[in-house]
Amino acid sequence: MASVKAPAHDLPTPEPDSPSLTRPRQPYRFSTLCATVDSPDGDHKDQHGSSSVPIYQSSTFKGVGNRYDYTRSGNPTRTHLEHHIAKISSAAHAFAVSSGMAALDVITRLLKPGVEVIAGDDLYGGTNRLLTYLRTHMGVTVHHVDTTDAQSVIPHLRPGKTAMVLLESPTNPLLKIVDIARISALVKEKCEDAIVVVDNTMMSPYLQRPLEHGADIVYDSATKYLSGHHDLMAGVITCNRDDIAKEMAFIINSVGNALTPFDSFLLLRGTKTLAIRMDRQQSTSMLVAQMLSKLGFVTHYPGLPNHPGKDIHDRISDGYGAVLSFETGDKELSERIVAATRLWGISVSFGCVNSLISMPCVMSHASIDPAVRAARGLPEDLIRLCVGIEDPADLLDDLRHALIEAGAITFAANDYVRIPNPISRAVEKLALGEARTTPPRETREWFVSAPGKAILFGEHAVVHGVTAVAASIDLRCYGLTSPRHDNKISVHFADIDDYRHEWDLDELPWDAVVSIPKGDEHPESLDIRVVDAIKSRALPPESKMPHKARAASIAFLYLYMMMTYSGHRPSFHFISRSTLPIGAGLGSSASFSVCIATALLILHQRIELPSLPPPSRGPTKPGDPGHVNLSHQGRRAVPPEFAEEANRWAFVAEKVLHGNPSGVDNSVAVFGGALAYVRPGFGKRSGMDQIQGFRSLRFLLVDSKVPRDTKALVAGVGRKKAAEPELVGQLLDAIQTISNEARRALADPELPRSALLSGLAALIDENHAHLVTLGVSHPALETIRAKTASPPYHLSTKLTGAGGGGCAVTLVPDDFSDDALQSLIAALEAEGYRPYVTAVGGSGLGVLSPYDPIHVDQEDEASAPLSPPKTPGPNGREEHLRPSIRRRFEDVDVSELSQWASGRGKWLYV
């Protein structure tokens, strides 16, 4: 019988035959241990000899009395991982759970009510949150002490009461060093039953193994360095004591937070490259730390020679890690630096192959009360850097560019030098007796306006990628800013519940804000932290404030705070008034958004109006033709870049107000005229196109006075699309065809006027029918439509905007008599509706010219100042107060508002 050859993977490794190699094998180094995954025992060898541990993606296992029966209790893939983690951690036992916080949760379940815990005062925010919960709900006393001083632990060590000492080293994010060995010895000496627990996430087992220094339990957020790729959530726990291991195994099996087989496979794969990744990451970290320290920033990194805990760290660790932090001395400067980076991703967490940057007080440690952060010495301006494996030169270059762009450093004398921050410079000026300089005081009033809009075709469908055709109307919103110099801002929303409010600038929630640098665009998504901070800390409770006024205040404050940069916080009063009916679907919120965006951009000095063109003049010498300045009556005086920036920020305000706006309303309010708009994100050419050659049309706008909820109506169409995709798809296609037809007709200069009007009337009826099918009409709108279509009027009407109430638009032909129009208006008013006769297609955003004095009515000369007069100067004279139009603007009747505003001076329009 032929002999059977044993499988290759079962063959023992032969010892070398050469007699010259007599030395025994040396223990494997750490990187070899990482890359080499051993079988826990003979039962776990793969029958096929796979070179990678298989994924046992099974919830149950067949048989009775076998090692595995249910994956919650045990799984072969997880067993391989836990054996591997124990091996590289110098541990007898290891457990893999669903996250780092899950690991800490398992550990703290060892505690009983009434016991005491000693913890550091510079902890990860999530750890602090869990300890707070234990203190509040579980009867556990928690003492936070400065664990960088081992002696600080002694007063709180109480035999029979102290059950756990929780340490981090280095701490996150200040990189303080804790003498794990010394504290472990003290605890064992004075409270032998207490357990020493160490969060080793910042170092990983490669650089620090606390079990070797007396710790009882060590845990890591394996999401970080052990995994290394931020593609899984995991936590690991290691220990050497059998009793503790048995108790934690019971807890994990009971609560069911063990790591899944697939995530166990991913984590096992990640650990194989731990050493090689961290070698690159910490070598680059040293270069970054040296650069920042050389520039004069207070830099926290244990590898720097001046770090106060370097000697201790060198004794208990094998490297310095890849996390560092630095202080700028100015929170707003830090915000600008973070925002200016490109290669460093703005994110919480660390340990990934990609480099990350964050401000802990705003992000990872935001859950800690600001007063507690201050008491623990956590600077609000602190920036944390988590270094990845990118090329060091690229990372250093990107960070330098961010520091330059933010105004933290400059390039001079062939080197980078730090620019003193404003606080430091102010102290220097006081010391040197220099005069204090401040931004120039704003003394003029800024008057802005923006039109409403009527969506002629494509409303609702525009949200789903269909072209919308919209045009401006000659009803407008107006905004006026009046200077005040008392470090306050105030608002008066005259048409929104006549709401008034005032804020002290220093009391706004600036700690939640990462401002947008001048010239940068606002990200696509709102910063929800800022919105929530405004709602909870800058405004009265929702129940004590009118809904619309609250929404307008949030939008105003959000734009104000996000635009603020370089410490410049303008102080002023803002008033808004409108000839538009509010909430009627005529773009009142968009015109309001354009007004606040424009006013704030001007006052924050983010945009400027062009200088005056040279005036007309005759020849002055032979060969000089002179110059002719053509007057356009203010039309096209506002340049495109000004308008585009105002439109971008107005869209941000619309997001605050409506959540998911189409972008049509604010675009019409800025650019005026008529336009076709396609929302981005639908695989087709998107954006806005002006309809050239648009000929003015007369419309009757009828306010149904029925309130409607735009967000709810848009969401309703979305639900209908999800429930009936085929029907809604057909409706959207039909509305697209209508928009295409209308766009061609409106832009065709050779189409006879009569054909244009009759064609538009038919398209209006057709579009409205589809909107009814979408479910966005209202009985009041149908009543208006029936009245305008009845004899003797025979006019075409459709809803406009979100529908569900709001406004209807009726096309009025050129030959429709004034008597018939007045009769229709009277009939509609008798039904309780409010009609407006308007033309569409007029000017967009307007700014009252700053180059000429504002025309002030005589009665406005006595308008009281908004803030106390300036202290008289050395000559005893008080600052001259300019006459104000503020009081008259608030009081003028709405029927006279447009004419009055036009009479204040020359308006400049887009």
Cβ(313)–Cβ(320) under 8 Å? yes
Active-site residue flag, 242: no
Q: Which long-range contacts (CB under 8 A, 24 or more apart) does 417-425 make?
A: 417/295, 418/295, 418/296, 418/297, 421/328, 421/329, 421/330, 421/333, 422/330, 422/567, 423/329, 423/330, 424/329
The b/e string for 382-404 (b: 16+ C-beta within 10 A; e otherwise) is bbbbbbbbbebeebbebbbebbb
Identified catalytic residue from 56, 124, 677, 833: 124
Identified catalytic residue from 72, 182, 190, 535: 72
> In sequence order, what DSSP letters do the residues of 348-401 get, joined into one string?
S---SSS-EEE-TTTTTTTTS-HHHHHHTT--TT-EEEE--SS-HHHHHHHHHH
Q: Are β-strands 834-840 and 697-703 bridged in parallel, bridged antiparallel, or unpaired? A: antiparallel
List the structure tokens of 330: 């100015």
Cα angle 501, 507, 513 (rounded to 5 degrees) comes to: 105
According to DSSP, residue 585 is labeled S
List the structure tokens of 166: 């929780």
Sign of the Cα torsion 833, 839, 841, 845 reads negative
Sign of the Cα torsion 659, 663, 664, 670 reads positive
CA-only gyration radius of the chain, Å: 35
Cβ(591)–Cβ(580) under 8 Å? yes
Active-site residue flag, 199: yes
Q: In angstroms, how far is CA 896 from the centroid of its own chain?
A: 42
Active-site residue flag, 708: no
> Edge-to-edge strands of the sheet including 345-346?
298-300, 323-327, 383-386, 356-358, 345-346
Active-site residue flag, 224: yes
Question: Cis bond leading into 725, ω under 30°?
Answer: no
Could you tell me the CA-to-CA distances from 438 to 422, 568, 683, 867 in Å, in that order? 11, 9, 50, 18
Cα angle 434, 438, 441 (rounded to 5 degrees) comes to: 140
Q: Round to whole Å and give the CA distance between 367 and 481.
A: 37
Cβ(664)–Cβ(678) under 8 Å? no
Cα angle 516, 289, 339 (rounded to 5 degrees) comes to: 10
Q: Round to whole Å and give the CA distance between 171 and 489.
A: 41
Identified catalytic residue from 105, 179, 199, 216: 199
Cβ(396)–Cβ(385) under 8 Å? no
Kindly give the residue spans of alpha helices, DSSP state H, lying in 476-546.
Answer: 528-537
According to DSSP, residue 470 is labeled E
Contacts of 620 (CB under 8 A, 6+ apart): 626
Instruction: Tell me the three state secondary structure of residue 591.
Output: helix
Q: Round to whole Å and give the CA distance between 78 and 100.
A: 16
Q: What do you get for the CA distance between the two ends of the chain, in Å?
A: 98
List the structure tokens of 367: 């859950």
Please choose, from the candidates 493, 527, 550, 521, the residue with its C-alpha nearest in 3D space to the C-alpha of residue 649: 521
Could you tell me the CA-to-CA distances from 376 to 142, 144, 313, 332, 372 in Å, in that order? 15, 10, 21, 21, 6
- Greatest CA span in the chain, whole angstroms? 122
Cα angle 776, 780, 783 (rounded to 5 degrees) comes to: 110
Cβ(383)–Cβ(325) under 8 Å? yes
Q: Round to whole Å and give the CA distance between 877 and 62.
A: 96
Active site residues: 72, 124, 199, 224
